[in-house]
Amino acid sequence: MRKRIIVNLVLLGAVIYLPWWAVMVIASIAAFLCAPYYEIVAFGVLFDILYGTNTISFGGVIGLVASVCIFVLANIIGKRIR
Amino acid sequence: MRRNTTLVILVALSVFVLVVPPVRGAITQAAYLVAPSFWNVGSSTANIWNSFLTNFRDKNFLVNENAMLRGEIDRMQAQVLDRNLLAERVVTLEGTLGRAQGDDRVTATVFVNQNKSPYDILVIDAGSDNGVAQGDDVVFAGSGVIGEIAEVTSTASKVRLYSSSGVDTQAVVGSHFVPIVAAGHGMGNFEAKVPQDSIVAVGDSVVTTKGNLILGSVSLVEEKPAEPFKRIYFRTPFNITEIRSVEIIIGSSRL
């Protein structure tokens, strides 16, 4: 539980302060560390809310799509590794 | 199975939040009540840290100073282009003086530059409380237009850059005012096509039809005899990634 809270805080900080590619890397690590990491979807939405608009490319849902992809991939890869 | 159901419910809820404009708008407003404080803290911390480090590292101090001076040069180059444009106007529109030039501008600091997100937008610290509205032009160094307001909250706004990939902007190029559609290629770069017999040269200014603002200056003209048009490539006269403050022309969305 404590690990999850720390990971959430780190990812929140990353979404606010770091470039998108760094957020992707940290989110991927978080998804492996805390599987199943459902919070990643909320962070994807937060990313779209903060930096996207629905008047631009892909309707401003890149964060959501990326977070779901990371979640699914982390689960698939995690299962194969364990 | 339970895991999949939870994910599907979460995704459905998220799509609802992001796709329904009033819901997205309300959540954006709420998020932007808090987020600017964090960005301000981050910016202040970075400044303090940089000041601290310059006491110990002369090399880094010089690098920072160099970056600052480069930014200043970019700004001055844009201003020179502005002056050139004004001079051209005086010559070509001689006798039609008296046209209202005054516009209402708000200066804003850039919270988030386009490196931060894949959307190629800027987040600035001026919003509807300052009179900013969706569609208003955003300029740098007086008349170097960079984009328009895409979304507004009470205290902040998102700027969609004209140079973003997939964004087309109506403009004219050169002293013959050849009309073009400037296609954004990202990072302040544009491409446009003009008829083969058009007179366009490297260094010509590209000016938006809406508001007569400078979009860039031509850096390359590519001509192939087999094609009925020339391709022109141009870029903003300043480094768009180094912009720290911008001006919003209030009411330009109504032009």
Segment B112-124, tens digit of pLDDT: 887 787 888 889 9
Interchain CB distance below 8 Å, B11 and A64:
yes
Q: Closest-CA residue in chain A for B124?
A: A51
∠ Cα B133 B135 B140 (to 5°)? 95
What is the interface pTM, i.e. ipTM, of the complex? 0.82
Nearest-CA distance A50 → chain B (Å): 7
Residues from chain A contacting residue B11 (CB–CB below 8 Å): 41, 64, 68
B57 falls in which pLDDT band (50, 70, 90)?
low
Interchain CB distance below 8 Å, A61 and B18:
yes
A58 falls in which pLDDT band (50, 70, 90)?
low
Residues from chain B contacting residue A20 (CB–CB below 8 Å): 116-118
Q: Does residue B254 have a pLDDT over 70?
A: no
Q: Does residue B97 have a pLDDT over 60?
A: no
Query: Out of A42, A56, A59, whose CB is closest to B160?
Result: A56
Residues from chain B contacting residue A44 (CB–CB below 8 Å): 14
Residues from chain A contacting residue B150 (CB–CB below 8 Å): 53, 55-56
Respond yes or no on whether the N-terminal peptide bond of residue B195 is cis (omega within 30° of 0): no
